[in-house]
Homo-oligomer: A and B are copies of this chain.
Amino acid sequence: MRINDITSNEELKRGIRQFLETAPDIYMAGVSVDTVIFGFHNDKLKALLLRFGNTPYFVLPGGYIMKEENLDDAALRILQERTGLKNIYLEQFYTSGNTSRSKEEVAMELTQKMIGTIPNSNWFAQRFVSVCYYALIDDTKVNPVTEVFFTEVKWFDVNKLPKTLYDHDAIISKALKRLQGDLDEKLVGSNLMGETFTMGQLQKLYEAVHQKKYVRTNFQRKMLSLGVLERLEKQYNGKSHKAPYLYRFTDRK
């Protein structure tokens, strides 16, 4: 689909017009929120993106902060409004504020094509400094849905991301780097592992997040040296003695 094939849509125009009538009274000008939601299950790391209107471009779930709303609360509300996801632990990791991010030409052209020139639509053309949050969740345990402006919500393998708008590629890269650092530091992955797990399952999480393979023995040594894993005694239940050891986190969040 090329940009020229994108046509405007009356329902969308009506929705946007309604939004724009009240937006300056409801939301702070100048500051927005973007969220990078990483999904993991078995062995793949994914990122959750929204299709921008009926275009081939995708964006992060994001939005605006209400005038009387705490920043962290805004992030949770925005994520829920865009994707339906609730009760997700969001970690603030970065605030993006180059002037160039608000001047992304493709995004401006697409918006214009879809909604035309309508009063006050300069709200979208304003400069926004965006406060960015990330989360790591089990993507099989959620069922994201989105609303009219975003026609699709989709998980993408972090190695096969679609075309994105604004500075969202750079924000995803920064989020991934932060997630990699937080994996040891803050055990952000511990909620994905179940109460008990094998070293092999944990290794798959690390390999997906760090996008590289580890040697099994090195990985085990590194993990045990962190001092956060407890090895459980094997239960002799008549099954093979070769069943792998199970572990659990001692400092579970």
A interface, CB within 8 angstroms of B: 28-31, 65, 67-72, 74, 92, 94-99, 127, 129, 131, 181, 185
A97: chain B residues within 8 A (beta carbon): 31, 65, 70-72, 74, 131
Smallest CB gap from A69: residue in B: B99
Q: Which residues of B contact A96 (CB under 8 A)?
A: 71
Q: With both chains docked as a complex, state the minimum distance between the C-beta of A58 and any C-beta of chain B, in angstroms.
A: 24
Number of copies: 2
Give which listed residue, B30, B68, B95, contacts A28 with CB less than 8 A.
B30
How far in angstroms is the closest Cβ of chain B from A193? 23
A28→B68 CA distance, assembly (Å): 18
A163 to B21, CA, bound (A): 43
Chain B residues lying within 8 Å of A28, measured Cβ to Cβ, are 30, 127, 129
Chain B residue, CB-CB nearest to A129: B31
9 contacts between A and B (CB under 8 A): A29-B30, A65-B97, A65-B129, A70-B97, A70-B98, A71-B96, A71-B97, A72-B98, A74-B97
Chain B residues lying within 8 Å of A31, measured Cβ to Cβ, are 30-31, 97, 129
What's the minimum C-beta distance from A175 to chain B, rounded to whole angstroms?
Answer: 14
- Expressed in whole angstroms, the minimum distance between the Cβ of A32 and any Cβ of chain B is 10
Return chain B residues, CB-CB under 8 Å to A94: 92
- Rounded to whole Å, the gap between the CB of A172 and the closest CB of chain B is 18
